[in-house]
């Protein structure tokens, strides 16, 4: 068994970059502990949770028994359900007391993303701090959202505690804040629990790739600044030494081993467990049971006698050619964490620059590092990032310089206090996102978005702003106003590209994302299936088995979208201009 499961504490946190296998590691750990006779609660804090798919069980926002594993219950913190329950909790005591207009005003205050964040956060802190909620469990395991979202979640107990200590008053949070004061003690207990290594074990999860190892190294430092100290490292999905001369298998194995040998020093100091790549996806109890074994499932070889044959797949260059028929527009790469949105966005941006287009490449992902993916500067390409901290600083300075200029000293002090609310980040990031959207009137703007759940919260803020603006306009005025949401709904202006992997869970989650977008009147333009082994045509038994499993998912994507592209697995990490250029030509760089 992995080292991180030795002498297990009450709480486990698994965190890391999207797509590294946090859910698989968390689920396999929960199964192991339950089979040791422990009572275990497995909790997902990821807005795009896929625990239900792993166990093939409907879970949702309630503690649900996993019937095939006695002693194991699971819970997916659903932001929408949590927000609705939070609103009802605040409104129920006053519905029969206050006038209808006041109830309507409070309801409006409770309609934004700030409420969603606080509601999800309250459920999270309840599980950490209120022992009566989890009294029947020996262990509580948190399968967290991708790193940027998780850092934000772990900052919140301290942020809200400080904010409550220093006073409150942000107008955008008046409704949500009314439910915070009573939870002050809960937040303090949550902070204590998170910073106590005897009760909480925080496990960083990575793949044997430079990008994910750099990500967890940054996470290690960011958590330490919160006095939360990671205790273990898991490197997941390591390709075993090749027993064949398959070029792809040998290249991947050599690349991964070199990456592990050059692991950041800070990570080398942590106890490290290495989990080998398996021939099957980690869906179902049988697959989870094999995850921590060095060897693959014993029946793998028998399935490798069938020759791998796949039809030619459309490449990314075809999509770029269609985009390049215009001279401007907004292109957004969206999807689950770890599917390669940053890589796809960067490849599209470079390909458009090659076609003579003016291009801005930017990101809304707090954990994204476009410059790392691009390598050196690319002539003709502008690169930026919507940095939450910088956005908040600029927003506060702007409000103080404009609105604050008309106030006396007392008023300015009150305004400055209002702007210290953690909810200010929502407004600040939305404003910078809106500016990026508007720039696409005169050039191409390629946006690498944050993982699905975080992006949907941004879309919610966009919708809230649209409703607030248009509510007060008559029909004639509406004809002369264009909000960011209207830009996103315009298929001639915005092209949404859904990025996924040829695996069951990422495709299922991408389908759910498109459903959410359609409800908002936003229609995906194309799908990109990234990192396809089938498109790379491996001959090694393990990789060929995984490649054969992709056919069903590739067919499912083709059935959902008339416009798609498939990017083959690369022999080299797709970092730098040359490697990114190869992606749009449908080949593996270096082959």
Strands (E), 404-491: 444-448
User: For residue 301, is it within any domain?
Assistant: no
The per-residue pLDDT for 299 is 44
In the prediction, which pLDDT does 117 show? 61
Q: Looking at 111-115, 280-284, 564-568, which range is the least confident one?
A: 111-115
Tell me: do 169 and 219 sit in the same domain: yes
Q: What are 358-408's pLDDT values in tens digits?
A: 999 998 776 666 777 787 778 889 988 877 778 778 878 888 888 888 888
Are residue 505 and residue 370 in the same domain, yes or no?
Answer: yes
Q: Is the pLDDT of residue 530 over 70?
A: yes
Per-residue pLDDT at 589: 44
Q: Given a cut of 60, is residue 284 above it in pLDDT?
A: yes
CA distances from 464 to 157, 479, 490 (A): 26, 19, 18
CATH number, domain containing residue 261: 3.40.50.300
- Asked which of 245-259, 440-454, 464-478 is least confident by mean pLDDT, the reply is 464-478
Question: Which residue among the candidates 15, 17, 18, 22 is catalytic per the annotation?
Answer: 22
Catalytic residue among 19, 237, 329, 335, which? Answer: 19
Question: Which of 294, 324, 346 is the last residue in one of the domains?
Answer: 294
Report helix, strand or coil for 88: helix
Domain end call among 262, 294, 326: 294
In this structure, the answer to whether residues 15 and 78 fall within a common structural domain is: yes
pLDDT band at 187 (very low <50, low <70, confident <90, very high): low
How far is residue 136 from each of residues 73, 166, 200, 489, measured CA to CA in Å?
11, 36, 17, 48
Claim: this prediction has a pTM higher than 0.75: no
Distance CA 394, CA 23 (A): 36
pLDDT number for residue 350:
94
Q: Identify whether the C-beta of residue 231 lies closer than 8 Å to the C-beta of residue 271.
A: yes
Show the CA angle centred on residue 388, arms to residues 386 and 393, nearest 5°.
110
> Is residue 179 predicted with pLDDT exceeding 60?
no
pLDDT value, residue 318: 92
The confidence score (pLDDT) of residue 527 equals 96
The predicted structure's pLDDT at residue 487 = 84
Residues 338 and 263 in one domain: no
Domain co-membership, 380 together with 236: no
Catalytic residue among 505, 508, 514, 540: 505
Domain span holding position 552: 316-583
Rounded-to-integer distance, Cα 243 and Cα 252, Å: 13
pLDDT at position 305 is 44
- Of 16, 21, 148, 158, the catalytic one is 21
d(C-alpha 279, C-alpha 297), whole Å: 8
Q: Per the domain annotation, does 591 fall within a domain?
A: no
Q: Is residue 530 part of a domain?
A: yes
Per the domain annotation, does 300 fall within a domain?
no
Q: 588 lies in a domain? A: no
State the average pLDDT for the chain: 79
Please give the structure tokens belonging to residue 75.
Answer: 């819970």
Residue 6: which pLDDT band, with cuts at 50, 70 and 90?
Answer: very high
Between strands 72-76 and 64-65, the pairing is: antiparallel
Residue 344, pLDDT > 80, answer: yes
**Residue whose tokens read 């926002």:** 61
Count how many domains the chain has. Answer: 2
What average pLDDT does range 178-203 have in this prediction?
A: 73
Highest mean pLDDT pick, 126-130, 272-276, 310-314: 272-276
- Is residue 303 in some structural domain? no
Share of the chain above pLDDT 70, in %: 78
Say whether 23 is catalytic: yes
Out of 15, 23, 362, 571, which one is annotated catalytic? 23
CB within 8 Å of 218: residues ≥ 6 apart: 147, 367
421 is catalytic: no
Would you place residue 116 in the very low, low, confident or very high pLDDT band (cuts 50, 70, 90)? low
Same domain flag for 273 and 357: no
pLDDT of residue 170: 43
Report the range of poorest mean pLDDT among 111-115, 434-438, 558-562.
Answer: 111-115
Residue 557 has pLDDT above 60, yes or no: yes
Per-residue pLDDT averaged across 20-37, rounded?
92
Rounded to whole angstroms, the Cα distance separating 200 from 154 reads 13
Here the tokens at position 498 are 């859904």
Does residue 418 carry a catalytic annotation? no
Output the pLDDT for position 7.
93
Q: Which helix (H) or strand (E) holds 129?
A: helix 113-129
Is 505 an annotated catalytic residue?
Answer: yes
**Do 358 and 218 share a structural domain?**
no
Is position 308 within any domain? no
Query: How confident is the model over 55-89, as pLDDT tens digits?
Result: 888 887 788 999 999 999 998 887 777 777 777 77
- How many alpha carbons fall within 13 Å on the CB side of residue 109? 20
**Per-residue model confidence (pLDDT) at position 88:** 79
Residues 489 and 377 occupy one common structural domain: yes
CB atoms within 10 A of CB 469: 17
Same domain for 44 and 77? yes
- Identify the CA nearest to 112 among candidates 167, 166, 163, 174: 174
β-strand partners of 205 = 234
The active-site residue, picked from 46, 78, 170, 460, is 46
Same-domain status, 72 and 191 = yes
Q: Calculate what percentage of the chain has a pLDDT beyond 90.
A: 26
Q: What pLDDT shows up at residue 34?
A: 95
SS (H, E, C) 470-482: HHCCCHHHHCCCC
Q: To which residue do tokens 């979640």 refer?
A: 153
What average pLDDT score do residues 41-59 get?
Answer: 81
93 CA to centre of own chain: 36
Q: Taking 90 as the threshold, does the pLDDT of residue 272 lie above it?
A: yes
Q: Whole-angstrom Cα distance, residue 560 to residue 134?
A: 41
pLDDT-derived band at 258 (thresholds 50, 70, 90) equals very high
Could you confirm whether 46 is annotated as catalytic?
yes
Decide if 299 is inside a domain: no
159 falls in which pLDDT band (50, 70, 90)?
Answer: low
List C-alpha distances in Å: 445 to 290, 315, 353, 429, 493.
44, 21, 11, 17, 10
Q: Are residues 256 and 353 in the same domain?
A: no
pLDDT in tens, 471-488: 555 555 555 556 777 888
Give CA–CA dist 509/147, Å, rounded: 18
pLDDT of residue 186: 72
Among 294, 326, 347, the domain boundary falls at 294
pLDDT score for 297: 55
Q: DSSP letter string over 161-193?
A: HHHHHH----GGGHHHHTTTGGGHHHHHHHHHH
Same domain, 354 and 257: no
Q: What pLDDT was estimated at residue 138? A: 94
Return the closest-CA partner of residue 532 out of 372, 316, 272, 370: 316
Q: What residues contact residue 408 under an 8 Å CB cut-off, 6+ apart? A: none
């Amino acid at each position: 068994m992995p080292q991180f499961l030795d002498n297990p504490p009450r709480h486990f946190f698994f965190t890391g970059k999207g797509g590294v296998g946090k859910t698989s590691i968390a689920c396999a750990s929960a199964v192991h502990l339950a089979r040791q006779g422990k009572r275990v609660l497995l909790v997902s804090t990821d807005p795009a949770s896929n625990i239900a798919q792993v166990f093939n069980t409907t879970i949702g926002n309630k503690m649900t028994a996993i019937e095939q594993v006695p002693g194991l219950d699971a819970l997916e913190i659903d932001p929408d359900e949590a927000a609705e329950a939070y609103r009802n909790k605040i409104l129920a005591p006053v519905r029969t007391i206050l006038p209808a207009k006041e109830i309507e005003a409070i309801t409006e205050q409770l309609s934004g993303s700030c409420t969603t964040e606080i509601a999800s956060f309250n459920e999270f802190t309840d599980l950490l701090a209120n022992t009566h909620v989890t009294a029947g469990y020996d262990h509580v395991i948190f399968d967290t959202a991708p790193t940027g979202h998780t850092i934000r979640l772990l900052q919140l107990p301290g942020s809200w505690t400080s904010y409550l200590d220093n006073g409150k008053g942000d107008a955008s949070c008046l409704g949500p804040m009314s439910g915070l004061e009573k939870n002050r003690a809960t937040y303090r207990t949550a902070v204590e629990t998170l910073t106590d290594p005897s009760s909480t074990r925080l496990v960083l999860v990575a793949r044997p790739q430079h990008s994910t190892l750099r990500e967890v190294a940054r996470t290690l430092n960011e958590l330490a600044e919160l006095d939360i100290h990671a205790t273990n490292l898991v490197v997941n999905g390591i390709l075993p030494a090749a027993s064949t001369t398959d070029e792809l298998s040998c290249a991947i194995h050599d690349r991964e081993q070199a990456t592990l040998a050059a692991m950041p020093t800070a990570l080398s100091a942590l106890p490290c467990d290495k989990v080998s790549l398996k021939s099957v996806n980690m869906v179902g109890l049988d697959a989870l049971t094999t995850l921590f074994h060095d060897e693959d499932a014993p029946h793998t070889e028998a399935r490798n006698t069938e020759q791998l044959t796949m039809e030619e797949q459309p490449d990314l260059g075809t999509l770029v050619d269609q985009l390049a028929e215009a001279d401007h527009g907004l292109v957004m790469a969206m999807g689950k964490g770890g599917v390669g949105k940053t890589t796809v966005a960067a490849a599209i941006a470079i390909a458009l620059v090659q076609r003579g287009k003016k291009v801005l490449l930017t990101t809304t992902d707090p954990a994204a590092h476009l410059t790392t993916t691009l390598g050196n500067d690319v002539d003709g390409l502008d690169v930026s990032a919507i940095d939450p901290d910088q956005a908040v600083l600029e927003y506060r300075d702007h409000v103080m310089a404009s609105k604050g200029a008309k106030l006396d000293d007392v008023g300015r002090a009150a305004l400055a206090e209002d702007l210290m609310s953690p909810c200010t980040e929502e407004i600040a990031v939305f404003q910078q996102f809106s500016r990026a959207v508007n720039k696409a009137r005169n050039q191409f703007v390629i946006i690498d978005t944050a993982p699905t759940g975080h992006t949907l919260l941004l879309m919610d803020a966009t919708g809230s702003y649209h409703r607030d603006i248009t509510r007060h306009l008559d029909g004639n005025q509406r004809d002369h106003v264009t909000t960011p949401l209207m830009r996103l709904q315009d298929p001639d202006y915005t092209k949404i590209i859904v990025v996924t992997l040829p695996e069951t869970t990422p495709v299922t989650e991408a389908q759910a994302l498109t459903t959410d977008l359609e409800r908002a009147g936003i229609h995906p333009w194309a799908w990109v299936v990234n990192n396809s082994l089938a498109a790379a045509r491996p001959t090694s038994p393990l990789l060929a088995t995984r490649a054969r499993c992709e056919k069903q998912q590739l067919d499912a994507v083709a059935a959902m979208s008339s416009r798609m592209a498939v990017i083959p697995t690369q022999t080299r990490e797709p970092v730098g201009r040359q490697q990114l250029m190869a992606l749009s030509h449908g080949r593996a760089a270096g082959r």
